[in-house]
Structure 1
Amino acid sequence: MKHVWTIIGTLAAVASVVVALYIYSDQQEKTKKSLDVEEQYESELLRTKDIPKKLQISYDGEPIDNFVILGLRVHNRGSVPIEPKDYAEPILITLKGIKKIISAEIKNADPSGLDVDTQIVNNSIELEKELLNPTDSYIIEIGAIPEQNEKIEVDKIGGRISGIKEIRYRSRQFDVDDEYSRPWWFRLVYLVLLIQIILILFAFIRIRGIRKRQVPEIRVMLVAGSKELSEKQTLRKHQKIAIANGDLAGGAVPAEGLEVKQAASITYLGRKRFRVSADEATLIYDSAEKPSIEIGLDEPFDLKDDSGHKLGGIMISTSGVQDDPFGAGSDDGPF
Structure 2
Amino acid sequence: MYISLIGILTAIVIVIYAIKIAIESLHHKEIKCIEIVNTPLIKKVSDLSVAFSDGREQKMQHLHLTVLRVTNSGNIPVTPSDFIRPISFIFIEVQSATEIVNTEIFNATELLRPIIKTTKNIVELEPLLMNPGDSFDISILSFSVSHHFNIDSRIVGVKNLKMEKWLTRKTDYSTRRYLSYGALMRILNIAVVILIAEMIWLAFVIISSFF
Q: Give 1:63's aligned residue.
A: 60
1:132 and 2:97 matched: no
Q: Structure 1 counterpart of 2:147, which letter?
A: I
1:28 aligned counterpart, secondary structure: helix
- Whether 1:158 aligns to 2:135 is no
Q: CA deviation at 1:76?
A: 0.8
Percent identity over the alignment is 24
Equivalent positions of 1:262-277 (< 5 A) are none
Match of 1:168 among 162, 165, 190: 162
Distance 1:29 1:57, change over 3 A: farther
Indicate which of 66, 70, 74 corresponds to 2:70.
74
Kindly indicate whether the alpha-carbon contact (under 8 Å) linking 2:34 and 2:69 is maintained by their aligned counterparts in 1.
Answer: yes
Secondary structure of 1:109's partner?
coil
Query: Alpha-carbon deviations, 1:137-178, whole Å to 9, x = none?
Result: 11111111213xxx313x32112211112112112354638x
Q: Does 1:44 align with 2:50?
A: no
Paired AA for residue 163 in structure 1: G
Question: Higher helix proportion, which one?
Answer: 2
Q: Which has the higher contact order (CA 8 A, sep 6+)?
A: 2
Aligned in 2, Cα 1:22/1:93: closer, same or farther, shift over 3 Å?
A: farther
Residues 109 and 86 of structure 1: CA distance in aligned 2, closer, same or farther (over 3 Å): same
Counterpart of 2:53?
A: none
Cα distance between partner residues in 1 of 2:85 and 2:59: 35
Does the 8 A contact of 1:29 with 1:79 survive in 2?
no
* Distance change >3 Å, CA 25–CA 45, structure 1 → 2: same
Distance 2:138 2:169 in 1: 23
Task: Tell me which of 71, 84, 88 is aligned to 1:88.
Answer: 84
The structure with more strand, counted as a fraction of residues: 1
Aligned pairs for 1:1-335 (under 5 A) are: 17=14, 19-46=15-42, 57-59=48-50, 60-65=57-62, 67-96=63-92, 97=94, 99-110=98-109, 112-147=110-145, 151-153=146-148, 155-172=149-166, 174=168, 176=170, 186=180
Task: String of CA shifts for 1:82-128, please: whole Å, max 9, x gaps.
Answer: 11111122111112235211112111001x22111111122110111
* Matches of 1:104 and 1:20, distance apart in 2: 50
Separation (CA, whole Å) in 2 of partners of 1:15 and 1:44: 59
User: Residue by residue, what CA displacement relative to the aligned partner does 1:168-218 show, whole Å, maximum 9, x if unpaired?
Assistant: 2112354638xxx979x95xx59x98xx9xxxxxxxxxxxxxxxxxxxxxx
Q: Secondary structure at the match of 1:141?
A: strand
Q: Deviations over 1:244-291 (max 9, x none)?
A: xxxxxxxxxxxxxxxxxxxxxxxxxxxxxxxxxxxxxxxxxxxxxxxx
C-alpha separation between the residues in 1 aligned to 2:167 and 2:47?
A: 32
Moved over 6 A (4+): none
Contact (CA 8 Å) 1:39, 1:72: kept in 2 or not? yes
**Residues 22 and 64 from structure 1, CA distance in 2 versus in 1: closer, same or farther, beyond 3 angstroms?**
farther
Aligned length in residues: 170
Q: In structure 2, do the counterparts of structure 1 residues 156 and 57 end up closer, same or farther at CA, with 3 Å as the change threshold?
A: same
Cα offset, 1:14, TM superposition: 6.8
Q: Specify the alignment match of 1:295 in structure 2.
A: none
TM-score by length of 2: 0.65
User: Kindly tell me: are residues 15 and 132 of structure 1, through their superposed partners in 2, closer, same or farther at Cα, counting changes over 3 Å?
Assistant: same
Larger Rg computed on CA atoms: 1
State the AA in 2 paired with 1:58. S
Equivalent position SS for 2:160: coil
* Matched letter for residue 161 of structure 1: I
